[in-house]
Structure 1
């Protein structure tokens, strides 16, 4: 049998390694999920001490996630942003990062720190410390309480805003650093930490953080950059390794009687609709020009000019992902019963990866409280997001949106750009991708390469010049509800397909060892 990362061979050294691997696996298998650390970690002689430290630090790890959730930083509401940055700095210092500093921007600050242990290789880590808004009335428990509850089919979970997006997985990575220190070990790679507080509003100033000369110099020493995640399928335990992500534009379209020159300057009695124009209806008319009649395809002039088709290889990856995935599980998680145009599973995934989108996040005009209030609103606002694919850019798409509205007779419609960034791509043979594959393979987690994440993160700040590094996501575990009520992260897993926080923590340890060893 040919030795591989997943099957290292049968010599005496490997037999010893396997005994150590099984020891580590057994220590984490009591809850159902079995995690198997890799040879690099096993041969280090560090596994037993680190595994014990992870178990001993579990209560502190849970408390760390809960305390972080209880300290929200919400950029969209300008809520506690300085305090959020300060707490991020405290977490970084507590985990062992040095030179931790708040990095000012034209918006909310970033955070930067390093952990230089003299290792040959360096790994970049991206954190976001902000979270989405929430309506407490929609939650089963207060969103900032970080309640521990039993979730059927999963085990014990933390429920709270930021539990999965992104504080829970990030705290699990910090727990890995705490476990290494408690075990008397140093990380096998140097680390560069870059954090922002504006991810949930489109990262409008994050490039200012990473292009600071000393931050950029530190990043250029990295093999790649990753964001901690916990995306295992609750049915199969499988994960997708994304080779990129869509870009995003977030903006508002605003119609007002004052700017239009028609309609009221403010809200008036609705009886006047008989002889007064409506800014709200004008907004609806403008929106209807942006998409096809079914609302499913962008109809903005020139929108597809720079859309790059999927390659045959990318289509093969999607087909493999569809075969490995679970359509019913995906539908259940999303609360849907059919895909666009009643597409079959694989074709829906092709569309998910390949198509740019025009989405209405929210519409606000006039009175929205209980009962009716007979007014003709003087203003209407549509909050939109546009997902971009290679080779679209934010700059070009914003220009096309403006030109489209102008040519359709809507020059008065304001476009308030609030944030966004370009799509991102990483090669499948990058070390950071191969290290992920190796860790997942050994842990028995089915994984498939996927052309690009349908969601967005500011990975282009790392993959584009001047940083020019591979970037992606990695992590074991499971959670759901990002941007939605009852967001959660699994803490103690009773699901054999899904890692709890102990296994997830060791997964990050193993990933660092793999990054140090992968050729």
Structure 2
């Protein structure tokens, strides 16, 4: 996903000792489910390995139909009675329902797609799901999609297998939607969720959550109350569209009398931000509301909880200064409350070894814009286009590939209260965090017409999302951090808490 979680050091918990997963409340009446999880461990890990072996990569148009079919099969195998593949204008989604005759119904959001990978960069094959010894973690499965998001999702499915295998009645009914385009900005998620029958099923839930690995390497757990929105786009400057500069690459000596589309793009980019690159200067851009006292207090608690937080964060990120040399607390406040315009990549002309004296006819900037609540994707894109036109750059193409609005959930919603209650029953005091600095398409649940709570939940840990050697811990060497079976049990406990 679009790296929803900030590095461990940026969000630190209140330092209370983490109890063993066998919380007293759960230990007595769920012992048989726990035994079933242990008994089915190998089967569950094999299910994850088989899933990792089938990569669905939206950006490469790879295995999307197969990925949706496989997601549908996993849902059927886990006990969903009604499972349907949903066509969209992009990659297909999956809609599934599990009716347990329970009083309460819970929504689930899954993604079956994964990020691209280059096998040459990996220490073991990215589709093999090999289990390796990982220093400081224990035994971990390494593969593309291991933590983002197939590991936690498979652990949730394993919880359903274990409940059924122990002959227990499911404590809640489930409504599942899955998509295959999360990694390209979820351009068609609304076509799935807003289909009238799916929207009606979702409307009946107490909220929607995504199975996730929410423990940090030291055992701490953060409950995140939302995420920034995102827009992914390309700005393309070309001689053809501009009507100036060449319509094909020409010799660089001609720069003496021919305009440069590359410089044209750079001058356009320069108008989007202040001289230091840190303040958005797009005319008419949607304004971010000021940070709320409630959110400021959450950040204050996190900063006070860890005196070493800033030093750890700087080391982890390879950063020496925050924007404007802000102190740590102010930098954190900015992280959650401010929108961004970021250049992901600049592509133009010759980029091979040595020089090549050309005047390129085309240059591209790959951009992502993060949005905070109070802002919308459509308003941000409209302002960008109008700004470029007003400043003499109306010829530059704005090609939006994906994105969506920000999302926020009330900490007092039953969905979030049940997370906190589950964690406390396991001896964990979670830290509430206003919103992730990254993005996921929770807007489709939290915006009208559904206006539901949405969040992430799950014990266990991993790392390397979007990077080589992505991993998910199977057997943890740290007693405060759960391995695979502990993650599975955390979903069982959460479902029972939601059913209360």
TM-score (norm 2): 0.92
2:56 pairs with 1:73:
yes
State the match for 2:441 in structure 1.
458
Q: What is the correspondence of 1:211-360 to structure 2 with a 5 Å cutoff?
A: 211-235=194-218, 237-303=219-285, 305-325=286-306, 326-360=309-343
**C-alpha separation between the residues in 2 aligned to 1:63 and 1:485?**
21
**Structure 2 residue corresponding to 1:441, chosen from 403, 417, 424:** 424
2:161 pairs with 1:178:
yes
TM-score (norm 1): 0.89
**Residue deviations 1:376-428, cap 9 Å, x none?**
22111111110001100111111110111112110111000111111111111
Q: Mind listing any 5+ residue stretches in structure 1 that lack a counterpart?
A: 1-31
**C-alpha separation between the residues in 2 aligned to 1:330 and 1:474?**
23
Distance change in 2, residues 1:105/1:81 (3 Å): same
**C-alpha separation between the residues in 2 aligned to 1:370 and 1:33?**
56
Distance change in 2, residues 1:446/1:330 (3 Å): farther
**C-alpha separation between the residues in 2 aligned to 1:114 and 1:36?**
30
CA-CA distance at 1:226 after TM superposition: 0.3
Distance change in 2, residues 1:163/1:241 (3 Å): same
State the match for 1:101 in structure 2.
84
Instruction: Decide which moves more: 245-254 or 62-71.
Output: 62-71
Whether the aligned pair in 1 keeps the contact of 2:310 and 2:328 (CA below 8 Å) is yes
CA-CA distance at 1:323 after TM superposition: 2.7
**C-alpha separation between the residues in 2 aligned to 1:391 and 1:139?**
41
Q: What is the correspondence of 1:118-157 to structure 2 with a 5 Å cutoff?
A: 118-157=101-140
Whether the aligned pair in 1 keeps the contact of 2:228 and 2:435 (CA below 8 Å) is yes
**C-alpha separation between the residues in 2 aligned to 1:328 and 1:152?**
22
Secondary structure of the equivalent of 1:294? coil
**C-alpha separation between the residues in 1 aligned to 2:208 and 2:330?**
31
Aligned length: 481
Whether the aligned pair in 1 keeps the contact of 2:89 and 2:188 (CA below 8 Å) is yes
Instruction: Decide which moves more: 113-122 or 369-378.
Output: 369-378
Distance change in 2, residues 1:333/1:490 (3 Å): farther
Distance change in 2, residues 1:285/1:110 (3 Å): same
Q: What is the correspondence of 1:376-395 to structure 2 with a 5 Å cutoff?
A: 376-395=359-378
Whether the aligned pair in 2 keeps the contact of 1:37 and 1:507 (CA below 8 Å) is no
**C-alpha separation between the residues in 1 aligned to 2:254 and 2:304?**
58
Instruction: Decide which moves more: 81-90 or 62-71.
Output: 62-71
Secondary structure of the equivalent of 1:100? strand
2:190 pairs with 1:207:
yes
CA-CA distance at 1:276 after TM superposition: 2.1
**C-alpha separation between the residues in 2 aligned to 1:482 and 1:333?**
15
**Residue deviations 1:249-304, cap 9 Å, x none?**
1111001110011111122233333332221221122112111222222121132x
Distance change in 2, residues 1:231/1:164 (3 Å): same
**C-alpha separation between the residues in 2 aligned to 1:328 and 1:454?**
19
**C-alpha separation between the residues in 2 aligned to 1:127 and 1:397?**
27
Distance change in 2, residues 1:298/1:38 (3 Å): farther
CA-CA distance at 1:328 after TM superposition: 4.0
